[in-house]
Homo-oligomer: A and B are copies of this chain.
């Protein structure tokens, strides 16, 4: 039986023998948490370990230490660029704190969400970051009941520690921008009702309209998913029932879908139709007509999510970071 990718598997004992000291000495010298000793033995041991190509066996170490230096991340899918951005940011934040991030995808299915969680737990993660929390999801509550360290990223259930963007503010910035450009007939396409982000962004949008003395009719708001196809469909609905001069899509994917719907309806984005997205995925600024959107600082959100994992419980545990508007060619002054 070959052991773990057939790697040379140089053990502590090998190093100890080669260096002529005991295993415990080597263990101590190579303990990355302790301050680096500069004693003669320490230096020699490190050199020998290096020559032999020693690598600590994370499993044995984790077993003994009771923690593994691993953080589990749960996302619905990685092919959604927003989730990929979030995971990469979490990976960086984790690494900066000496942790390794592993990810599991779980789609939109609560059942697979549970089973993916169990898989991660089985692998002994020291904490769990969920980028999936639905408002109606009972997973965070279950984790709280079991006393499992976790935090929510991008969304919140109002109870578990959460790190997210200020969606209300983002929605406000987006629509305020449209209002400032003279638009008064604005439609809104947002995410699913079960997502706190979708609701927050609509709230902010409503506030900006109210400030301008505009009401937000119910039929002006379309709740959809966060995918491109949902954007196409929502856009189609919007453009057949009315003729808004501007659309706020609460997600860049949705906005891209709306772009396609607009194209099919004979509307020209950046000309007779203004469009704002949300998230500022890399694609947004590189479209033929670059998309005005709300930039979300994923790195800050990630840092918050990781920090909350290890923060003493009972602190103010819902952290919001401010988004920024990125005006681009997809929004223009309203034509009379």
A residues neighboring B (CB under 8 Å): 1-8, 55-60, 62-63, 65-68, 70, 77-79, 81, 84-85, 87-88, 91, 100, 102-105, 118-119, 121-128, 146-150, 228-229, 232, 256-257, 259-260, 262-263, 282-283, 286-289
Contact = CB atoms under 8 A, between A and B. Distances in A.
A57 B124 contact: yes
SS class of chain A's interface: helix, strand, loop or mixed? mixed
Given A57-B122, A58-B122, A124-B58, A146 B7 contact: yes
9 contacts: A1-B65, A7-B148, A55-B121, A56-B122, A58-B59, A59-B68, A77-B88, A232-B286, A256-B287
B256 A283 contact: yes
Nearest to A257: B286
A122 B260 CA distance: 47
A148 B6 contact: yes
Nearest to A4: B124
B105 A88 contact: yes
A125 B287 CA distance: 40
Contact of A260 (B7, B56, B81, B287): B287
> Nearest 7 CB-CB pairs, A to B?
A263-B288, A3-B66, A4-B124, A78-B84, A59-B59, A228-B286, A102-B102
Contact of A78 (B1, B87, B146, B148): B87
A288 B126 CA distance: 45
A55 B232 CA distance: 44
A289 B287 CA distance: 12
A5 B148 contact: yes
Contacts of A289: 263
A62 B70 CA distance: 16
A66 B1 contact: yes
Nearest to A121: B7
Contacts of A55: 118, 121-122
Which of A59, A91, A257 gathers the greatest number of chain B CB atoms within 10 Å?
A: A59
A154 to B, nearest CB: 16
Nearest to A1: B66
Given A79-B81, A79-B88, A260-B287, A59 B124 contact: yes
Contacts of A70: 123
A149 B68 contact: no
Contacts of A288: 259-260, 262-263, 288
A7 to B, nearest CB: 5
Given A8-B146, A263-B288, 12 more contacts: A4-B67, A4-B125, A5-B148, A5-B150, A6-B148, A8-B147, A57-B124, A59-B59, A59-B60, A79-B84, A100-B119, A232-B286
Contacts of A147: 6-8
B60 A63 contact: yes
Contact of A105 (B91, B105, B228, B229): B91
A121 B66 contact: no
Contacts of A81: 79, 81, 84
A44 B208 CA distance: 62
A111 to B, nearest CB: 15
Which of A7, A65, A85, A125 gathers the greatest number of chain B CB atoms within 10 Å?
A: A7
